[in-house]
């Protein structure tokens, strides 16, 4: 079986390769193609990946390529971890926000919009290549903003099966399990735990947790509230959790604590992009070491915790028809009654040979739904703007986003975004 990784020069790639190595007896990979347009990074990261696989007895081949169509041809699965413009573009996204007193972040607000606009045309071309050269292959999209990108793919290339994957939900699940392990004094197989969460990618609310099929959310909630009360820097106010009886995804800080986040931005540099750029320098130096055959500890600081688990176990469940439940991003398709069928949501899904199928879920309360509906409107408008270069649609998308600019600032912000990323946004300059 052939698997293609688009954006194979990413510093995340060794984590993904380790995931495939850990499942080599279940997931029958014969060829792992790492594709990237940056030849230098591909050589360093890909070379390290090849040494990792060789050290494990070469259970599959790692093939390096700068040719997307060649990499995709005949693949059973394609995973995406693109970054159009690489880290310098992410840094521009962050400082774009700061210049206008808006949130500058990779996945939300004006920064997330800029990244989506650069990415959508590129990833749609990939999907079209897949439709032609790898019909039926499943795309696992890790490219941020993952929910928005997956929404665009489902809208414009519906013939290509796609699932948006993120490591946030599995990270929350593992933290809950670690807390339970400390209490019980024994290890718990992660397969025994199931997180109930719903919303959009990076805009979800966790509202249930089952251990061996038994609901233990009241216990989880009680312990989380206690930790918030005891903390000098609580993740969220205890009264918020007590009132909602849910735990918001930590990205909701940008919506619930906007002013605090804006004040944090004023302390830059370094922004998160600048921090990651320094981390990547070290990682690439490590990867270039001909004696290195295992991912270094610094990789976790990059933000890759459970990345391989989230990606490779989902593919394993699909390939082997396991029917496991994974939190993923897919079109609603009636799973949440009363919500639009075509909205890409992040929610528990059953994963087997038939695909990644969302499980029936109770709608979120009005407190959450209003925000979701607003952000989803922004996502759909942004996707349409990205493929058309229509500035009026872009204006409307900025108007729709709850973290967007005031109406008298939309035009200046839009012009700044388009000029800053002109090289990557040709459709807006025709």
315 Cα distance to chain centroid: 16
Confidence of residue 307 (pLDDT cuts 50, 70, 90): confident
pLDDT above 90 coverage of the chain, percent: 94
Averaged pLDDT, 103-128: 97
Q: The whole model's pTM is what?
A: 0.96
pLDDT of residue 376: 98
Q: Quick one: pLDDT at residue 305?
A: 65
Residue range 403-408: average pLDDT?
98
CB 75 within 8 A of CB 39: no
Listed residue (156, 189, 154, 153) closest to 173, CA to CA: 189
Structure confidence by residue, pLDDT tens digits, 334-356: 999 999 999 999 999 999 999 99
User: Contact, 47 vs 287, CB < 8 A?
Assistant: yes
Among 1-15, 203-217, 243-257, 289-303, name the one with the lowest average pLDDT: 289-303
Phi, psi of 286 (to 5 degrees): -65, -45
Report pLDDT for 281. Answer: 95
Fold of 1-430: LDH C-terminal domain-like (3.90.1820)
pLDDT band at 183, cuts 50/70/90? confident
For the chain, domain boundaries:
1-430
pLDDT tens-digit series, residues 228-237: 999 888 989 9
Q: Give the per-residue pLDDT at 299.
A: 77
pLDDT tens-place string over residues 119-140? 999 999 999 999 999 999 999 9
Give the pLDDT score at 303.
62
CA 194 distance to own-chain centroid: 19
Q: How many C-beta atoms surround the C-beta of residue 243 within 10 A?
A: 10
Using a 10 angstrom Cβ sphere, with 0-12 exposed, 13-18 middle and 19 or more buried, the burial of residue 57 is exposed
**pLDDT more than 70, % of the chain:** 99
pLDDT value of position 309: 85
Task: Give the C-alpha separation, 286 to 282, whole Å.
Answer: 6
- Please state whether beta strands 214-215 and 203-211 pair in parallel, antiparallel, or not at all (unpaired): antiparallel
Q: Are 255 and 403 in contact (CB under 8 A)?
A: yes
The pLDDT tens digits for 272-294 are 999 999 999 999 999 999 999 99
Q: Give the three-state DSSP class for 236.
A: coil
Residues identified as active-site: 251
Output the CA angle 367-252-335, nearest 5 degrees: 60
The CA-atom distances, in angstroms, between 221 and each of 227, 245, 279 are 10, 7, 35
Mean pLDDT of 92-99: 98
Q: How far is CA 67 from the centre of its chain?
A: 24
Mean per-residue pLDDT of the chain? 96
CB 163 within 8 A of CB 150: yes
Measured distance CA(198)–CA(172) in Å, rounded: 13
């Amino acid at each position: 079986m052939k698997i293609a990784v688009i954006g194979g020069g990413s510093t995340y790639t060794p984590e993904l390769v380790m995931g495939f190595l850990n499942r080599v007896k279940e997931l029958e990979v014969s060829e792992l193609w790492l594709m990237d347009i940056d030849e230098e990074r591909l050589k360093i990261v890909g070379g390290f990946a090849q040494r990792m696989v060789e050290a494990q007895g070469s259970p599959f081949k790692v093939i390096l390529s700068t040719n997307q169509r060649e990499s995709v041809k005949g693949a059973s699965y394609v995973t995406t971890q693109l970054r159009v413009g690489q880290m310098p573009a992410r840094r521009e996204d962050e400082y774009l926000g700061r210049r206008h007193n808006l949130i500058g972040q990779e996945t939300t607000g004006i920064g997330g919009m800029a990244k989506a606009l650069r990415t959508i045309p590129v990833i749609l071309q990939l999907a079209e290549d897949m439709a032609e050269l790898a019909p039926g292959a499943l795309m696992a999209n890790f490219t941020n903003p993952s929910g928005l990108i997956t929404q665009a793919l489902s809208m414009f290339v519906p013939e290509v099966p796609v699932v948006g994957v993120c490591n946030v939900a599995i990270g929350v699940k593992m933290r809950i399990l670690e807390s339970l392990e400390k209490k019980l004094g024994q290890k718990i197989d992660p397969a025994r735990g199931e997180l109930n969460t719903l919303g959009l990618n990076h805009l979800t609310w966790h509202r249930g947790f089952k251990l061996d099929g038994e609901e233990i959310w009241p216990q989880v909630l009680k312990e989380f509230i206690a930790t918030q009360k005891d903390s000098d820097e609580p993740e969220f106010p205890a009264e918020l959790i007590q009132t909602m009886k849910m735990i918001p995804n930590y990205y909701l800080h940008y919506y619930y604590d906007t002013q605090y986040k804006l004040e944090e931005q004023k302390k830059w540099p370094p922004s998160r992009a600048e921090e990651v750029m320094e981390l990547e320098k070290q990682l690439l130096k490590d990867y270039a070491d001909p004696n290195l055959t295992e991912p270094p500890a610094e990789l976790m600081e990059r933000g890759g915790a459970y990345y391989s688990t989230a990606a490779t176990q989902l593919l394993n469940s699909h390939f082997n028809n396991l029917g496991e439940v994974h939190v993923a991003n897919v079109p609603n398709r009636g799973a949440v009654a009363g919500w639009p069928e075509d909205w890409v949501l992040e929610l528990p899904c059953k994963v087997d040979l038939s695909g990644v199928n969302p499980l029936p879920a109770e709608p979120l309360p009005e407190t959450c739904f209003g925000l979701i509906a607003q952000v989803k409107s922004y996502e759909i408008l942004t996707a349409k703007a990205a493929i058309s270069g229509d500035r009026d649609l872009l204006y409307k998308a900025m108007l729709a986003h709850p973290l967007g600019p005031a109406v008298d600032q939309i035009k200046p912000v839009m012009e700044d975004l388009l000029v800053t990323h002109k090289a990557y946004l040709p459709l807006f300059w025709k």
